[in-house]
C-alpha cells in the first residue's frame, strides 16, 4: 500500500477510451477494459477490435481442442500488442476455476486453455470475450498518457465489455462520458 491519497488501482474495472488524437495507431478508437493498475504498471484488454484472420474454430484446432460440439459464434479479439500469442478471456463470474482472477464486480479474467475447452463445449461462462495479446504499460506510463490527454476513463458495464456490436463501442463509451465524438478535434488547439 502506498501513502498516496489517490488509490493506485483506481483504473481497475474501468474502461479506457482512446481520445481522437491518439498517436499510436494500434490504439486508435479503442476501448480497453483495465485488469490491473498499480505501481508496477498497468494491463488491460481491447474490447472493441476483432481479429479477422483467426476464427474460434481455427484457434481450437491449433490448441488440439475438440471442435465437434456445436458452439456459438465466438469472435477472437485483438487484446493488445503485447504477447499476441497468449489468450485471455474476460468473462462473467459464473465460471470460476483455479487461475481465475475476479477483476471487479461482474467481470473475471482467466488465461487458461481449460476455459477455451469449456466455451467450446457450451459449459463456459455465460458472457465472455476472448482476446489474444494485451495492452501493457510500465510504471507511471499510463498515468503520463492520461495526463497528456491520450485516454479518458469511464465505468465499465456489461454492454460495453461483452456485447458483440464492436463498431459502436467507442462511440457508446464516449457517449457515456457525455462527449459527442464529432465535436472533438484530433489535435489540441493552442491560443
Average pLDDT estimate for 114-126: 90
Of 51, 54, 78, 181, the residue nearest 134 (C-alpha): 78
What Cα–Cα distance (Å) separates residue 5 from each residue in 9, 10, 36, 144? 12, 11, 19, 18
Domain that holds residue 45: 14-182
- What is the average pLDDT across 151-172? 93
Question: Is residue 7 a part of any domain in this protein?
Answer: no
Count Cβ atoms within 10 A of the Cβ of residue 171 and give its class: 0-12 exposed, 13-18 middle, 19 or more buried.
middle
Which pLDDT does position 167 carry in this prediction?
93
Domain count, the chain: 1
- Tally of residues, the chain: 191
Is 1 a member of any domain?
no
For position 94, which CATH number holds? 3.40.1740.10
Mean pLDDT to the nearest integer, 106-117: 92
Looking at residue 145, its pLDDT comes to: 92
| pLDDT given at position 20 | 87
* Alpha-carbon span 153 to 31, nearest angstrom: 9
Q: Give the model confidence (pLDDT) of 71-86 as tens digits.
A: 657 889 999 999 998 9
Q: Is residue 190 part of a domain?
A: no
Task: Determine, yes or no, domain membership for 31.
Answer: yes
Amino acid at each position: 500500500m502506498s501513502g498516496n491519497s489517490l488509490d493506485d488501482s483506481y483504473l481497475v474495472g474501468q474502461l479506457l477510451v482512446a481520445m481522437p488524437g491518439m498517436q499510436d495507431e494500434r490504439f486508435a478508437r479503442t476501448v480497453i477494459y483495465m485488469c490491473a493498475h498499480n505501481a508496477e504498471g498497468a494491463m488491460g484488454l481491447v474490447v472493441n477490435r476483432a481479429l479477422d484472420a483467426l476464427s474460434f474454430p481455427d484457434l481450437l484446432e491449433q490448441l488440439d481442442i475438440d471442435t465437434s460440439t456445436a458452439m456459438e459464434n465466438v469472435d477472437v479479439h485483438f487484446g493488445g500488442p503485447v504477447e499476441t500469442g497468449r489468450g485471455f478471456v474476460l468473462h462473467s463470474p459464473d465460471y470460476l476455476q483455479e487461475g481465475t482472477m475476479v477483476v471487479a464486480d461482474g467481470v473475471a479474467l482467466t488465461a487458461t486453455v481449460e476455459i477455451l475447452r469449456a466455451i467450446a463445449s457450451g459449459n463456459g461462462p455465460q458472457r465472455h470475450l476472448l482476446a489474444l495479446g494485451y495492452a501493457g504499460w510500465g510504471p507511471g506510463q499510463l498515468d503520463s498518457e492520461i495526463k497528456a490527454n491520450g485516454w479518458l476513463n469511464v465505468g465499465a458495464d456489461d454492454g460495453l465489455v461483452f456485447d458483440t456490436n464492436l463498431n459502436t463501442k467507442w462511440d457508446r463509451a464516449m457517449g457515456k462520458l457525455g462527449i459527442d465524438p464529432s465535436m472533438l478535434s484530433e489535435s489540441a488547439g493552442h491560443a
